[in-house]
Amino acid sequence: MRLGLAIRVFFQVLGSATAARAVEEALECLRRGESAEVPAPVRPAPRASVAEAGPARPAGRSDAVSLLATLQREARLIDMIKEPLGNYSDAQVGAAARDVLRDCGRVLDRLFALQPLVEQEEGSQVEVPAGYDPGRYRLTGNVGGTPPFRGRLVHHGWLATRCELPSWSGSAAAQMVVAPEEVEVA
């Protein structure tokens, strides 16, 4: 299912600069009409010795895992993605997805206060200035020559106006637990 893949890729990119670069390269290849080769895994550089690294940092939880745990706890996102959908009608899936998506939106609004990157309507004509930041613009279509470029706004983009992920206060043994087991005691 493409939705599940998209969400897995989202969290990989969020948690790993290497994954982000690989996805960016693959998307660029697809944009150019080339076949995207899967890059070989990048071996991490050897870690510095304790003396070189300075004071030890307490073991913590990845921000990506904290975000995933919050989306599960407050919106049941993982339950929705991992549920085998073959036994449900499209109407049942749509009804369940509506609640999950609404609750995920609330989580994202609270943690990131997302806003459109630009206020123009999608479909309107925009200009991409010379010296533009490629982190702010994704150019598609017939890209050639030198900026400034004029084109049609396909997507307004999103801007996180804050980033307030929950702090991890659990044990080292549970730092990778996204959702704890739920046990109803009789």
Domain boundaries, the chain: 1-38, 61-124+152-174
pLDDT of 169 strictly over 80: yes
Q: Please give the biggest Cα pair distance in the chain.
A: 71
Where would I find the H helices in 40-176?
50-53, 63-75, 77-82, 90-112
pLDDT of residue 17: 64
Q: What is the mean pLDDT of residues 109-133?
A: 95
pLDDT of 148 strictly over 90: yes
CB neighbourhood size of 21 (10 A): 13
Radius of gyration of the CA atoms of the chain, in A: 21
pLDDT of residue 49: 42
pLDDT of 135 strictly over 90: yes
d(CA 179, CA 182): 9
Residue 113, amino acid: A
pTM passes above 0.85 = no
d(CA 113, CA 106): 9
pLDDT of residue 60: 79
Are 65 and 175 in contact by the 8 Å Cβ rule? The answer is: yes
Coil, strand or helix at 140: coil
pLDDT band, very low/low/confident/very high, at 50 (cuts 50, 70, 90): very low
pLDDT of residue 43: 42
